[in-house]
Structure 1
Amino acid sequence: PAPVWNTRPDSIAAVGDSITRGFDACMVLTDCPEVSWATGSDAGVDSLAVRLLGVTGAAQRSWNDAVTGSRMADLRAQMERAVLHRPELVTVMAGANDACRDSTGQMTPVADFHRQFQSALTALRQALPKTEVYVSSVPDLKRLWSQGRTNALGKQVWKLGICPSMLGDADALDAAATQRRDMVQARVVEYNKVLAEVCAKDRRCRFDGNAVFDYRFGTKQLSHWDWFHPSRNGQARLAEIAYRTVTATDP
């Protein structure tokens, strides 16, 4: 019998948040979808779509339905838009904004996150039973803090309100600040467990095995506008991880 997973899908739709929109990778406070790890056309990034479909194919058969600022609660609506393209593969990168809130108390509860992700996947399955799904883990926000805080400019930008739950009072190392960051980190780990568990129940879903979370990025991979979002280089690393996961014969 033919394998369930096709390592060469012929069309791609992307859903998720600002990372997939290439936010702050090209200009400050601006989406730059051409450098998106999932569907971008930028030669330096070599997006998943370009790697799988070629430059022309990616231009014709990939769609970016991600929305900057989205949380998991927004994913179902994005998925409902994505299915209209009838893609053979949908990429999902969402969850960072569920942890990046004004306070730890505002973070999305794990049970809600689970329900919202399941709902989005169900919406896809009801419309397109055979479409494959690649699910990225949520990045390591605590590593973002530890890397970005080495840059004085970055810390000034963070004060504008970028991921306050993790990046607020970036130089504070007292017990309260440490506990706050640990709470955010623990929530991200829980989110990634949810993504893995829900995806594992769908034979046409592949989770990245925490590859994005585990990636040891440095400041070169961070936007030099905000020291939080991926730079072009960071987007290229995300594309590599996705391509490796999607094309593996045995995940």
Structure 2
Amino acid sequence: MRVLITGASDGIGGAAAIRIAEAAGQAGGTARMVLSTSGRKPAPQAVLDRLAELGAEVHFLPADLTDVDACRALARQTLALLGGLDCFVSNAGALGGAPLKDIAPEKWDFLFDVNVRPTLVIAQELHGALAESRGSIVATSSMTGEMPMPGAGAYSPAKAALSMLIRQMAQEWGPEGIRANAVAPGMIRTGLTEAAYSNDDTHSARAALVPLRRIGTADDMGAIIAFLAGPQSAYVTGQIIVADGGVTDAMLGLIPAPPKK
């Protein structure tokens, strides 16, 4: 399995890398990977160490994905290193809440530049290789791309755009054998969201809203990405899998019932 994973930190991207490497080993193969982050943080050493234990071949290439040329260069370097590609996991993203009446156009553009555009630009460069391998694209969207979240600024619209991009890719590129799917995480505890969940009261209050009564983990999402990346999902395309413990479907249950007579 030859894979490119963006946003491959110690959160969802790193968990996906580990799950994919485990699946490759269980199938009697070896994962060959290019992992990429923005370069603003150190390389995810714990992830790299675990991948080494699993026998994966790993190349780490930092890239600023807000730069179109850097996106294209990352894709070309990946193909040169791996000699082709079986899966592109587009996990890089950024948060940035703001009321819509106040949000600056520059901040709006930045969140689309990080959360949407790299998936398209990189996938365009990888298209030929993915068609040759009949490979797949897996993106990380968000439950906030499936339903509005007041105060999220451009984040919800950007993730909604990403989900639609994946669905459109599935339709346009399906005849060439390329599958495209996304996972839409709900409330997940990662380094990016640690500020919220490090507070015990906030953590408990949020978990109480989830029918499964817990906050999700990076590994929960990594397992879904590995499934969508691999042969077990060979007939699945154009799907946005909302992995939120059931919370979005629980909203109507929060409406107070009338008093019993």
Please say if residues 71 and 96 of structure 1, whose CA atoms lie closer than 8 Å, have aligned partners that are also in contact.
no
1:216–1:101 Cα change, 3 Å: closer
Alignment match, 1:157: none
Q: Which residue of 2 aligns with 1:123?
A: 125
Aligned counterpart, 2:259: none
Separation (CA, whole Å) in 2 of partners of 1:128 and 1:244: 17
Unaligned residue ranges in structure 2 (runs of 5+): 41-63, 198-215, 237-261
SS in 1 for 2:191: coil
**123-132 or 183-192, which deviates more:** 123-132
The size of the alignment, in residue pairs, is: 178
Instruction: Tell me the secondary structure at the aligned position of residue 48 of structure 1.
Output: helix
Aligned residue identity for 1:51:
A
Corresponding position of 1:65:
35
Instruction: Decide whether the 8 Å contact of 1:96 with 1:188 is kept in 2.
Output: no
Structure 1 segments unaligned to the other structure (5+ residues): 1-10, 26-34, 41-46, 147-177
Work out whether 1:137 is the aligned partner of 2:140: yes
Counterpart-to-counterpart distance in 1, 2:9 and 2:153:
28
Quick one: distance in 2 between partners of 1:108 and 1:207? 24
Q: Do the aligned residues in 2 keep the contact of 1:38 with 1:48 (CA within 8 Å)? A: yes
Offset at 1:57? 4.2
Kept after mapping to 2: 8 A contact 1:65/1:78: no
- 2:4 is matched with 14
- When the two structures are superposed, what TM-score results if normalisation uses the length of structure 2? 0.52
Measured in 2, the distance between the counterparts of 1:77 and 1:94 equals 17
Q: CA RMSD in A?
A: 4.0
Structure 1 residues 131-178: Cα deviation after superposition (integer angstroms, max 9, x where no partner): 3122223234689xx9xxxxxxxxxxxxxxxxxxxxxxxxxxxxxxx4
Matching residue of 1:223:
191
Does residue 1:207 correspond to 2:196, yes or no? no
Q: Higher strand proportion, which one?
A: 2
Describe the SS at the equivalent of 1:14: strand
Q: Take 2:89 and 2:196, find their aligned partners in 1: how far apart are those partners?
A: 19
Per-residue deviation, 1:75: 3.1
Matches within 5 A, 1:177-192: 178=150, 180-181=151-152, 183-192=154-163
Q: Determine if contact 1:15/1:66 at 8 Å carries over to the other structure.
A: yes
Question: Which residue of structure 2 aligns with residue 197 of structure 1?
Answer: 168
Amino acid at match of 2:123: L
Partner of 2:14: 36
Amino acid at match of 1:239: G
1:213-236 deviations in Å (ceiling 9; x for gaps): 1x4335xx333983489xxx7332
Paired residue secondary structure (1:130): helix
Percent identity (aligned): 8
- Residue 136 of structure 1 aligns with an amino acid whose one-letter code is A
Q: 1:17-76, CA deviations, whole angstroms, 9 ceiling, x for partnerless residues?
A: 2xx2225x9xxxxxxxxx813323xxxxxx112113349844xx3213322364364432
> Whole-Å Cα distance in 1 between the matches of residues 123 and 136 of structure 2?
9
Matching of residues 67-146 of structure 1 within 5 Å: 67-68=37-38, 70-71=64-65, 73=68, 74-84=70-80, 85-94=82-91, 96-97=93-94, 100=96, 105=105, 106-108=107-109, 117-126=119-128, 129-131=131-133, 132-140=135-143
TM-score of the aligned structures, taking structure 1 as reference length: 0.54
Question: Paired residue for 1:243, among 214, 223, 226?
Answer: 226
